[in-house]
Structure 1
Amino acid sequence: MRRDESGQVTLLVIGFATVIAMAVVLVIDASAAYLQRSGLDTLADGAALHGADLGATGVDVYTGGVPDQRLALTEADAQRAVEEYLRSVGAYASYPGLVAQVAIADGDTVRVELRAPLDLPLSFPGSPGGGTVAASGSAVSTVD
């Protein structure tokens, strides 16, 4: 007796198509996450440089001269400079929900950490909706 096996190939094709579609979504989302992190890395480095540059070009340098050891850096001034930089380059529009944290380490190092919601272009039903991507940068402001 011979069994009817029609429809078995259709099921196999549908299964392979689903696996290939999931692989494509994974590659596209991983690429998007990498590019977003890379963009935040660039912004964090630029923001840290801008914040450190504040000590070299601040009013204190023009009114009091360049100090012998370290340039004056305060966390509040560095935070303002970083936020000004991020606004000027359009970072808040490019990365909605962007949050910047600024810290001064050792009196002359500006550390910037940026966090933004991860915006994935594709997703499968039941997959995580998104996450957070973060990047950090630092710059030193010293007197040579």
Structure 2
Amino acid sequence: MRARDEAGQTMVLIVGLAVVALLLIGVTVDASAAYLRRQGLDNLADGAALAAADGVQGLQVYEGGLGERALIDPVAAREYVATYLLEIDAARAYPGLQFAVDATADRVVVRVSAPLDLPISPPGWDVRPLISSTAASYVVVSD
């Protein structure tokens, strides 16, 4: 019996391994880009929530004291968030940036989101994933 010719079998394995390695690199690069975008949006949401906390109702401070919690003016909180994002030019750093502010008398929750252009998009993938972050701010009065 004659031995089978196995020439070229190693080449198939090398090509297969190269394809798997390239796929892993693509996934790692895209996941890293999403993580970095999320970190940036976390910082943006934190700053916006802190800016919104400046919407403490001024009359409360001067007329009746603060008590345990200062009351936040929801309308002023939304304006403070919009002004903060405009002043730091967040829309330039995060194209397509959207934000939502949920303000009550004692807390402000800011949610920011922006689409991400993946550095290595899969073939046929036209969707831009939406990355979002949420931050909250409470105004607590202490002695």
* Range into which the TM-score falls when normalised by the shorter chain: 0.7 to 0.9
8 Å CA contact 1:96–1:116 kept in 2: the answer is yes
Residue ranges of structure 1 left out of the alignment (5+ in a row): none
Q: What does residue range 1-144 of structure 1 map to in structure 2 within 5 Å?
A: 1-55=2-56, 60-61=58-59, 65=62, 67-69=64-66, 71-105=70-104, 107-126=105-124, 129-144=127-142
1:14 Cα deviation after fit: 0.9
67 and 99 in structure 1: CA distance in 2 versus 1, 3 angstrom threshold: farther
Alignment identity in percent?
Answer: 38
1:90 Cα deviation after fit: 2.1
TM normalised by structure 2 equals 0.84
8 Å CA contact 1:33–1:119 kept in 2: the answer is no
8 Å CA contact 2:78–2:101 kept in 1: the answer is yes
Aligned residues: 139
Q: Residues of 2 paired with 1:97 and 1:76: CA distance?
A: 24
TM normalised by structure 1 equals 0.83
State the Cα deviation string for residues 83-123 of structure 1 (Å, max 9, x = none): 11112122111111111100113x12111011111232112
Residue ranges of structure 2 left out of the alignment (5+ in a row): none
> Please, what is the CA RMSD of the aligned residues?
2.3
Q: Residues of 1 paired with 2:5 and 2:91: CA distance?
A: 62
Q: Which of the pair has the greater relative contact order for Cα pairs under 8 Å at 6+ separation? A: 1
State the Cα deviation string for residues 13-46 of structure 1 (Å, max 9, x = none): 1110000000011111111111111110111011
Q: Secondary structure at the match of 2:50?
A: helix
Q: Residues of 2 paired with 1:130 and 1:34: CA distance?
A: 15
| Equivalent AA in structure 2 for residue 92 of structure 1 | A
1:126 Cα deviation after fit: 4.5
| Equivalent AA in structure 2 for residue 136 of structure 1 | T
8 Å CA contact 1:68–1:143 kept in 2: the answer is no
8 Å CA contact 1:117–1:131 kept in 2: the answer is yes
Q: Residues of 2 paired with 1:85 and 1:113: CA distance?
A: 14
